A and B are shown apart, each in its own frame.
Chain A
Amino acid sequence: MSGASADGGGGDGAGGTPRPLRALLVEWVFAKQVPAGVGFLRALGTALFVVLLTQAVTGMLLALCYVPSPDHAYNSVRFIDHEVKSTLGGHEIAVGRLVRGLHHWGAGAVIVLAFLHLLRTFFTGAYKRPRALLWVLGVALFGVLLGFGFTGYLLPWDMKAFWATDVGMTIVATVPEVGPALADLLRGGPELGAPTLTRMFALHVLILPALLIPLAGLHLLLVHRLGITPPGARVGAPEVKGAPFFPDHVVRELLVAAAALGVVGFLAWKLGAPLEAPASRELGEYEPRPEWYFLGLFQLLKLEWFQGDRVWYATALLPGAVGALLLLLPWLDRGKERSASQRPIATTLGVLAVAGVVGMTAWGFWETKDDPKRPPPPYVPVGDLAYVPPSSPPFAPPTDATAGGGTPAVPADPASARAEALLAESGCVDCHTLRGEGDSSGAGGPELRGLADGHDAAWYAAFLLNPKQFKPDIDMPSAADLELADADRFAIAEWLAANARK
């Protein structure tokens, strides 16, 4: 700050007392200079920063409603999509759907902008002395951003989330020596489940931000201290500044940021964020696919040469080598030239690498574009009492009712025996079946063991009292119609809950 005061930047107030905030603004914005000839390509970093800030805001809003637990995650996401609505100027706005859409498409924009920012820095030779550390921080930040993408992907807990993460964890496990242990650490066990969801959530909202903020802060501080690389200047040549940062370059930066946010906002408004059926281990026809920015790597694994014992070449060796090359780039390329046309080897290698990444990703898109999706079930408003609470977690073993056969004819414990006697006496089995027998009326009521909606006893007790209140179209007598005493109703409810599919 003393620097700003020394060069007369207005760091002193009228009474001679220092005004540190004003000095900071003058130093960082108003008195700042950039090299002449700096254009829109030098604005990608700021656009990335603004989109990341937007991700932080939308992420905080989503966290107000999201529950990182398999029994509520999917429903809390659907709640955000369908029920978080607000009115503005007489129009109803699905603000939850919009915010989730912004976060989803914003995540894609972050990867695209980070990739373009990295390419710009590479092809303009801006990673060279004295900006080696700035480059290394940038490469590390790119890794953190990919981490955000991978960890955020599981959170909606739909089919795509579950299986993309499952495949991702399997890829982690193929890394020699440390892979299996690392995969177990990330998953919180040998299989993807509830602990994986809390881990990915903690990484996404606490641990990765704790890495991102200091790394990005240092990156920005160094950008400010070292300034923008003058276009085409050789390493060691004096770096001349001659153009104002404010407002000229700030406008360029904000225009690129606004354009990126405009595209993200349009996609969010039009498409929202995708959501498939709730996560389930029953794969069926479903094809697990990663998010698009991992499609290139995914496609690599389809090549026969990378299969069997050589799988880790693609999962560990190649990504590791690319990461190491990028980190060490300022020391591997010590040439004085910055201009791409004066660096034929680096430029050629760079173009080949970009073509490889883009080509593999495009190929992956092409091969997966017609894959079957599993659409979500019809939405029932939560405010409606017909609402069926969260789908069961995908890893419960099937109950004996769903597995079929081999079940004991009479339950061993007295409470169950009493409840089953009540089902017969009260007339339940005139319309329902119990172990496949009953329904003499032919009403077709569901089998009472293993009811698919999986509620707790309190819910069933309330339901039996007046079924029409919960399901308006149901043709089922109330507890009063059946002359069912409260104690008997509770006994049946306990039994239904204990035998429902979890």
Chain B
Amino acid sequence: MATLLGGAIAGGLGLLGALFAKATSRWPARHAARFTALCRLDALQDGAPLETSFSFDRVEGWYRERVKRLVYVMKDAQGAPVVLSRSCTHLGCPVRWKPKTTTFDCACHGGKFDAEGAPIAGPPKSPLRRLNARIAGEMVEVEET
């Protein structure tokens, strides 16, 4: 009886904590994909990724944050827009396009990616992240993520 009562109270508190932790561990809020304008389609030139950024509002619990993403935009062989995150897949420093070597170089630990974003030298083992992009009229739009 004593064990039952004590166990019920302790178990109830434990369950409450678990449910609360679960409920508060799903931020930022998930929602259907939203796209935002990134640049004009005619701003993209062959062989020269465009360095740019986009911002969007993200809701984290009770707080709305303006998030900024640094990206490179270019066209693939079919003329579809490709948006690469500038965040190096090693430890997250921003990569920079080097026209002479046609690589994305990371200044932090010497990582190098080819023009497609695939790793070719240094510590990174996975390619630069590709963001979902689409053409809307004259504009390139990118998914807010």
- Contact at A251–B2, with CB atoms within 8 Å? yes
- Contact at A64–B5, with CB atoms within 8 Å? no
- CB of A328 within 8 A of chain B? no
- CB of A131 within 8 A of chain B? no
| In the complex, chain A residues whose CB is within 8 Å of the CB of B15 | 88
Inter-chain CA distance A337–B33, complex, in Å, is 77
- Contact at A458–B66, with CB atoms within 8 Å? yes
- Contact at A261–B9, with CB atoms within 8 Å? yes
Inter-chain CA distance A257–B7, complex, in Å, is 13
- Contact at B61–A382, with CB atoms within 8 Å? yes
Q: A65-B24, A258-B8 are in contact. Are A99 and B16 (CB under 8 A)?
A: yes
How many of A's residues come within 8 Å of B, CB to CB? 43
Interface flags, A78-110, vs B, CB<8A=1, else 0: 110001111010000101101100100000000
- Taking the closest CB of chain A, its distance from the CB of B111, in whole angstroms, is 31
- CB of B77 within 8 A of chain A? no
Number of A-B contacts defined by CB within 8 Å: 93
- Contact at B64–A389, with CB atoms within 8 Å? yes
- Contact at A385–B57, with CB atoms within 8 Å? yes
* Chain A binding surface SS class: helix
- CB of A61 within 8 A of chain B? yes
Inter-chain CA distance A458–B66, complex, in Å, is 8
| In the complex, chain B residues whose CB is within 8 Å of the CB of A84 | 20, 23-24
- Contact at A382–B13, with CB atoms within 8 Å? no
| In the complex, chain A residues whose CB is within 8 Å of the CB of B16 | 57-58, 61, 95, 98-99, 102
- CB of A151 within 8 A of chain B? no
Inter-chain CA distance A231–B22, complex, in Å, is 48
Q: Which of A95, A102, A465 has the most CB of B within 10 A?
A: A95
Inter-chain CA distance A206–B81, complex, in Å, is 54
Inter-chain CA distance A243–B123, complex, in Å, is 71
- Contact at B61–A83, with CB atoms within 8 Å? yes
- Contact at B9–A254, with CB atoms within 8 Å? yes
Smallest Cβ-Cβ distance to A455: which chain B residue: B64
Interface flags, B17-54, vs A, CB<8A=1, else 0: 10111111000010100000100000000000000000
Interface flags, A180-198, vs B, CB<8A=1, else 0: 0000000000000000000
- Contact at A250–B2, with CB atoms within 8 Å? yes
| In the complex, chain B residues whose CB is within 8 Å of the CB of A79 | 61-62
- Contact at B1–A247, with CB atoms within 8 Å? yes
- CB of A459 within 8 A of chain B? yes
- CB of A246 within 8 A of chain B? yes
Smallest Cβ-Cβ distance to A53: which chain B residue: B13
List B98-136 residues whose CB lies under 8 Å from chain A. none
- CB of B79 within 8 A of chain A? no
List A364-396 residues whose CB lies under 8 Å from chain B. 382-383, 385, 387, 389
Inter-chain CA distance A462–B62, complex, in Å, is 19
Inter-chain CA distance A328–B63, complex, in Å, is 51
List A414-457 residues whose CB lies under 8 Å from chain B. none
Partner of A95, one of B2, B13, B20, B62: B20
Inter-chain CA distance A67–B64, complex, in Å, is 14
- Taking the closest CB of chain A, its distance from the CB of B136, in whole angstroms, is 11
Smallest Cβ-Cβ distance to B28: which chain A residue: A383
| In the complex, chain B residues whose CB is within 8 Å of the CB of A257 | 5, 9
Smallest Cβ-Cβ distance to B7: which chain A residue: A254
Partner of B29, one of A54, A61, A72, A382: A382
- Contact at A246–B2, with CB atoms within 8 Å? yes
- Contact at B55–A458, with CB atoms within 8 Å? yes
Q: Which of A53, A72, A83, A257 has the most CB of B within 10 A?
A: A83
Q: A79-B62, A251-B2, A257-B9 are in contact. Are A61 and B20 (CB under 8 A)?
A: yes
Inter-chain CA distance A118–B59, complex, in Å, is 48
Partner of A65, one of B17, B56, B61: B61
- CB of A322 within 8 A of chain B? no
- CB of A50 within 8 A of chain B? yes
Partner of A247, one of B2, B22, B66: B2
Inter-chain CA distance A210–B36, complex, in Å, is 50
Residue ranges of B at the interface with A (Cβ–Cβ < 8 Å):
1-2, 5-6, 8-9, 12-13, 15-17, 19-24, 29, 31, 37, 55-57, 59, 61-64, 66
A-B contacts, 15 of them at CB < 8 A, read A53-B13, A57-B13, A65-B62, A78-B62, A79-B61, A84-B23, A88-B15, A254-B2, A254-B5, A258-B9, A382-B29, A382-B61, A385-B59, A458-B66, A462-B56
Residue ranges of A at the interface with B (Cβ–Cβ < 8 Å):
50, 53-54, 57-58, 61, 64-65, 67, 72, 75-76, 78-79, 83-86, 88, 93, 95-96, 98-99, 102, 246-247, 250-251, 254-255, 257-258, 261, 382-383, 385, 387, 389, 458-459, 462, 465
Interface contacts beyond A57-B16, A250-B2, A385-B57: sample of 15 additional A-B pairs, CB < 8 Å, sorted by A: A54-B9, A61-B16, A61-B17, A64-B24, A65-B24, A67-B62, A84-B20, A86-B22, A95-B20, A96-B23, A254-B2, A254-B5, A254-B9, A387-B64, A459-B57
